[in-house]
Structure 1
Amino acid sequence: MMENSPILGSVIVLVAWSLVMWIWMYATRIPAIAAAKMELDPNAPNGQQMAQLPPKVRWKADNYNHLMEQPTIFYALAITLAVLGEGEGANAMLAWAYVGLRIVHSLVQVLVNKIEVRFTLFSLSTLPLFALTYNAATAFFSAG
């Protein structure tokens, strides 16, 4: 059995945060749909009906969708590094930096949605992914 790799803690936290956002999304979306007395139409084009909801409601769904996009790269890298035995030290710190920045990005998006701030946080959170990619490639290709 493989030992626990420190980098996996960051994976678990980002998954948990994604589930928090899922709960927050539906906790705001369902009451907003009820308040608007919307009749959900399965034939409406994707996103058309949800566009009728207030922006502060839509921001939660937008953020949840964002957590299903770029973080998939993070998950692949973190698990790869764990399997390669490279999931501690600098790699674990980079992973936690990524997760922390993504959580802050989420909070900015769902609470105030300042695009300039979101873009800065998104860009900053991408930097650890470049470093983790380099470290994973170096570990993998130098081991062979």
Structure 2
Amino acid sequence: MLESVELLKSVELLKPVVALIAWTMVMWFWMYVTRLPAMKAAKIDLIPGEVYEEKMAALPASVRWKADNYNHLMEQPTLFYALVISLCILGADSQLVTIAAWSYTLLRVAHSLVQAVFNKIEIRFLLFVLSNVALLVLLGNAVSLLF
């Protein structure tokens, strides 16, 4: 019975991980829904050996923002995924950990929306810093369980 309870706690902690992965796929879809028509309109053909970045720079900024954000979702959130999975393995079950995990996920979604829609750097930076606070809380909990 105790093992079932522990497993349920771990499952709850994995929900923000799955939610952020699902959001990442939304951004992937949004990126291609905007990028492919823009590439066609700009008559951009991708030819092996040519400089890809120069061609993408010709796209409107609002199109590039989605791709930039998708790339951002492939970077720092990998630390979040590793930390939350580690916390599940370690049996973390505090409300603080759950709140921090959901906070990180929701702040990254907000960051994505800001970057993809109007890209106000000051707001993005604030959301990024706040998401790092949540990440630090998760890290602190992992360290306290390990050492």
Q: 2:115 aligns with which of 104, 109, 113?
A: 109
Query: How many pairs are equivalent?
Result: 141
Which TM-score applies when normalising by structure 2? 0.91
User: For residues 42 and 120 of structure 1, what CA distance do their matches in structure 2 show?
Assistant: 39
Quote the residue 1:7 is aligned against. Answer: 13
* 2:100 corresponds to 1:94: yes
User: For residues 54 and 9 of structure 1, what CA distance do their matches in structure 2 show?
Assistant: 35
Q: CA deviation at 1:44?
A: 2.0
Identity level (%): 52
Alignment of 1:58-137 (within 5 A): 58-137=64-143
For the 8 Å contact 1:78–1:87, the answer to whether it is kept is: no
Instruction: String of CA shifts for 1:20-79, please: whole Å, max 9, x gaps.
Output: 000000000001111111121221224121111000000000000000000000001000
Q: Which runs of 4+ in 1 moved over 4 A?
A: none
Quote the residue 1:50 is aligned against. Answer: 56
Going by fraction, where is helix more abundant, 1 or 2?
Answer: 2
Quote the residue 1:138 is aligned against. Answer: 144
What SS is found at the alignment partner of 1:49? helix
User: For residues 57 and 18 of structure 1, what CA distance do their matches in structure 2 show?
Assistant: 16
Which TM-score applies when normalising by structure 1? 0.93
Q: Which amino acid aligns with 2:25?
A: L
Please report the RMSD computed on the Cα atoms of aligned residues, expressed in angstroms. 1.3
Q: Which amino acid aligns with 1:71?
A: P
For the 8 Å contact 1:108–1:117, the answer to whether it is kept is: yes
